[in-house]
């Protein structure tokens, strides 16, 4: 496994403070792979889902819901199960969501 990438992603996401959000693109940039936005999202889901125990603790701390698309759309996230309450979660964090799951990046985007 190449944990380099995914691990880094996880760490970055973890470090997003409450009330803030980030985008896949931005994370990708931080990783020096501006094009890897997709891989970023993928890494997140894989990591949550999967495998090694030590990671799990790390993974659980990853606020996937705080990661949104560059457009401000929340996107997919939460591959685990159950209906996702991104809107609710994010609102709880103090983030205003537009009618259709859109976050105001100008206000809540967390720059690393």
Partner DNA sequence: GGAACGGCTAAGG
Partner DNA sequence: GCCTTAGCCGTTC
- Residues for the chain: how many in total? 112
Question: Rounded CA gap, 26 and 58, in Å?
Answer: 21
Count of helix runs (H) and strand runs (E) in the chain: 6, 2
Nearer to DNA, 1 or 94 (CB): 1
Site residues (vs DNA, CB under 7 A): 1-6, 23-25, 33, 35-46, 48, 50-51, 64, 67, 69-71, 75-79
CB of 42 to DNA, least distance (A): 4
64 is catalytic: yes
Q: Phi and psi of 58, rounded to 5°?
A: -65, -45
CB of 94 to DNA, least distance (A): 18
Q: Phi and psi of 51, rounded to 5°?
A: -105, -75
Which residue in the list 64, 68, 90, 103 is annotated as catalytic?
64
Coil, helix or strand for 75? coil
CB of 12 to DNA, least distance (A): 11
Are residues 6 and 43 in contact, defined by beta-carbon separation less than 8 angstroms? yes
Catalytic residues: 64
């Amino acid at each position: 496994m190449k944990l380099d990438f995914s691990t880094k992603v996880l760490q970055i996401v973890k470090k997003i403070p409450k009330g803030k959000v980030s985008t896949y693109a931005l994370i990708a940039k931080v990783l020096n792979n501006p094009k890897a936005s997709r891989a970023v999202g993928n890494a997140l889901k894989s990591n949550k889902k999967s495998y090694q125990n030590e990671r799990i603790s790390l993974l659980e701390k990853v606020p996937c819901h705080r990661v949104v698309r560059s457009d401000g759309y929340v996107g997919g996230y939460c591959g685990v199960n159950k209906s996702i309450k991104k809107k609710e979660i994010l609102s709880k964090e103090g983030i205003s969501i537009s009618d259709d799951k859109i976050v105001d990046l100008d206000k809540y985007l967390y720059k690393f």
